[in-house]
């Protein structure tokens, strides 16, 4: 389906500057317009739950998250996509500043050449996060101290939402103001296929899932919701909207689950999602799942 997607990038049409990590961006329109040399397809690396500790030798369930992110960064750098999104839980437990400094340094080989968009999860500390990943143009239109990133990437639109509610506690929440912002934004933007990316699991730990679907259900432009949090790799649908649960990069909770990242190719018609498993259950490493967008 996505044979028209060419991996080789035309760098003249990509960003030539300002490719530092984008941490806090909310704007009336998209922050960046990417992949205009390839309007039919865009390729992105999707990560979640890196769980980097202040101590690089931190280990959990036999995994070393620091080493995992190093390996993933090397894989991505070896075949650079149009951009990268990490959907939260960058830090190990409570979002220490040193954790974010480590993340920033490890992602630098990518961020110096491509945009890297970072969401926050329940093990992140927004204050320490923003102290490390600064964006002077970032504003907080959503209220409630929520941060949103919007980007048009070739044929699709990416919106990274903020579901951080409590540090080191499971529940997540978009909140009334962020939901209001999202509803207004979706009503006023064009009909480009739109992918929402957030941390918490819909219908499980995201407390306002029902209210989110009240907004996106009648918006055919919303095609998929990508999230992490559960450290499980899976695909599902809810009312025609694809739910894509990313594997954790840091460690799994079950030996049946992979550890790694997902390479996504998006078109106006759908997406291909290829698993890159660097640990855990690697039986499906390289396996690709193809999804068709709802009409």
In a domain, 11, yes or no: no
Q: What is the pLDDT of residues 187-211, one digit of tens each?
A: 999 999 999 999 999 999 999 999 9
In a domain, 104, yes or no: yes
Written in H, E and C, the secondary structure of the chain is CCCCCCCCCCHHHCCCCCCCCECCCCCCCCCEEECCCCCCCEEEEEECCCCECCCCCCCECCECHHHHHHHHHHHHHHCCCCEEEECCCCECCCCCHHHHHHHHHHHHHHHCCCCEEECCCCCCCHHHHHHHCCCCCCCCCCCCCCCCEEEEECCEEEEECCCCCCCCCCCECCCHHHHHHHHHHHHHCCCCCEEEECCCCCCCCECCHHHHHHHHCCCCCEEEEEECCCCCCEEEEECCEEEEECCCCCCCCCCCCEEEEEEEEECCCEEEEEEEEEEECCCCCCCEEEEECCC
What is the number of structural domains in the chain? 1
Q: What is the pLDDT of residues 253-287, one digit of tens each?
A: 999 999 999 999 999 999 999 999 999 999 999 99
Q: What is the pLDDT of residues 207-255, one digit of tens each?
A: 999 999 999 999 999 999 999 999 999 999 999 999 999 999 999 999 9
Res 27 pLDDT > 50:
no
In a domain, 6, yes or no: no
> 0.95 cut: is pTM over it?
no
In a domain, 92, yes or no: yes
Between 256 and 30, the more confident residue is: 256
* CATH code, domain with 26: 3.60.21.10
Domain of residue 252: give its range.
Answer: 17-292
In a domain, 198, yes or no: yes
In a domain, 56, yes or no: yes
Res 14 pLDDT > 60:
no
In a domain, 110, yes or no: yes
In a domain, 4, yes or no: no
pLDDT of residue 135: 61
Q: What is the pLDDT of residues 118-139, one digit of tens each?
A: 999 999 999 999 999 876 333 4
């Amino acid at each position: 389906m996505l044979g028209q997607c060419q991996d080789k990038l035309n760098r003249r049409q990509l960003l030539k500057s300002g490719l530092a990590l984008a941490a806090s961006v909310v704007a009336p329109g998209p922050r960046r317009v990417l992949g205009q040399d390839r309007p039919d397809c865009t390729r992105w690396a999707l990560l979640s739950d890196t769980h980097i500790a202040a101590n690089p030798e931190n280990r959990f369930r036999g995994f070393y998250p620091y080493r995992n992110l190093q390996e993933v960064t090397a894989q991505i750098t070896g075949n650079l996509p149009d951009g990268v999104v990490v959907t939260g839980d960058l830090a190990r437990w409570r979002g220490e500043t040193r954790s974010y400094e480590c993340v920033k340094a490890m992602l630098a080989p990518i961020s110096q050449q491509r945009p890297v968009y970072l969401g926050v999860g329940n093990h992140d500390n927004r204050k320490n996060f923003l102290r490390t990943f600064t964006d002077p143009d970032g504003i907080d239109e959503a209220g409630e101290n929520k941060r949103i990133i919007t980007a048009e990437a070739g044929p699709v639109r990416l919106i990274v939402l903020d579901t951080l509610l409590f540090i080191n506690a499971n529940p997540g929440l978009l909140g009334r103001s962020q939901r209001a912002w999202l509803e207004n934004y979706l009503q006023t933007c064009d009909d480009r296929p739109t992918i929402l990316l957030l941390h918490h699991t819909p219908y499980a730990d995201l407390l306002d899932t029902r209210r989110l679907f009240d907004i996106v259900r009648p918006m055919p432009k919303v095609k998929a919701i990508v999230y992490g949090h559960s450290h499980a790799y899976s695909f599902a649908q809810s009312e025609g909207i694809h739910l894509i649960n990313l594997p954790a990069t840091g460690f799994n909770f079950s030996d049946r689950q992979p550890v790694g990242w997902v390479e996504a190719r998006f078109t106006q018609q759908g997406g291909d999602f290829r698993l890159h498993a660097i640990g855990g259950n690697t039986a499906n490493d390289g396996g690709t799942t193809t999804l068709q967008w709802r009409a």
